[in-house]
Amino acid sequence: MVEQHKQEPEIPYLTRIQILGAMGATAIILLIVAKVSLHFGNFSLFYLNLNQRELLLGVGLGFVITALSSLTYRLWTAYRKSADYYLEVVLKPLALPDLIWLGLLPGLSEELVFRGVMLPALGSNIMAVILSSLCFGILHLSGSQQWPYVIWATIVGMILAYSALLTGNLLVPIVAHIITNWISSYFWKMWQLRQLKNK
């Protein structure tokens, strides 16, 4: 009988502190990129207006993206393997309270860069949506076999970009991104904990 071994990730497993540090460092780098781009760029930004209607729209969009992601996970085997790989590398070392940061840090910094700065800098048109979303997708590349996850992240980027274009308010994609990260990471962690209990 040949024993099947689980494929090890191309990048080594990180500790909880390394993951949190990497998230914090990435958020700081993206915020610096946004600030520099704003300083040297000649374009207008989407506003960030805290209002109840668009806050609820962001929450609803977060639930829709999470539902679509769950459906894609069930139906597309290559995406399921890619997502499991990515989530295991990122989520496995984290404790449940750390998921707060997993929602907030990328949700704020990535939306500021990709939808807040890059989208208007590229012209706030269909080409800007495609290019900014493709860059967003590539940011989620963590190994050579991760192309399905990159494709899905690019599609999510397009949904988030259109939400910014349609509302003109960066609050919608920020909240949707945070909600999506929170829900998906929470359910993945719960599934992981159930798997450990059943062993």
pLDDT of residue 49: 86
SS3 of residue 169 by DSSP: strand
What pTM does this model have?
0.86
For residue 11, the model assigns a pLDDT of 54
For residue 177, the surrounding DSSP H or E stretch is helix 171-198
Task: Tell me if residue 168 falls in helix, strand or coil.
Answer: coil
Q: What is the pLDDT of residue 64?
A: 98
One-letter amino acid at 16 equals: R
pLDDT at 3: 42
| Adjacent-strand bridge partners of 47 | 169
Q: Determine the longest span between alpha carbons in the chain, in angstroms.
A: 65
Q: What is the pLDDT of residues 7-59, one digit of tens each?
A: 444 556 778 898 889 889 988 998 898 888 877 877 777 788 899 999 999 99
Which residues contact residue 37 at a Cβ distance below 8 angstroms, ignoring those fewer than 6 apart?
113, 117, 118, 121
Q: For position 6, what pLDDT does the model report?
A: 47
Amino acid 12: pLDDT: 62
Instruction: Please list, residue by residue across 162-181, b when 16 or more beta carbons sit within 10 angstroms of its beta carbon and e when fewer do.
Output: bbbbebebbbbbbbbbbbbb
The CA distance from 83 to 68, in Å, is 14
* For helices 77-91 and 99-111, angle between their N-to-C axes, nearest 10 degrees: 110
Residue ranges in the chain whose pLDDT is less than 50: 1-9
**pLDDT reported for residue 137:** 94
Q: How far apart are CA 28 and CA 33, in angstroms?
A: 9
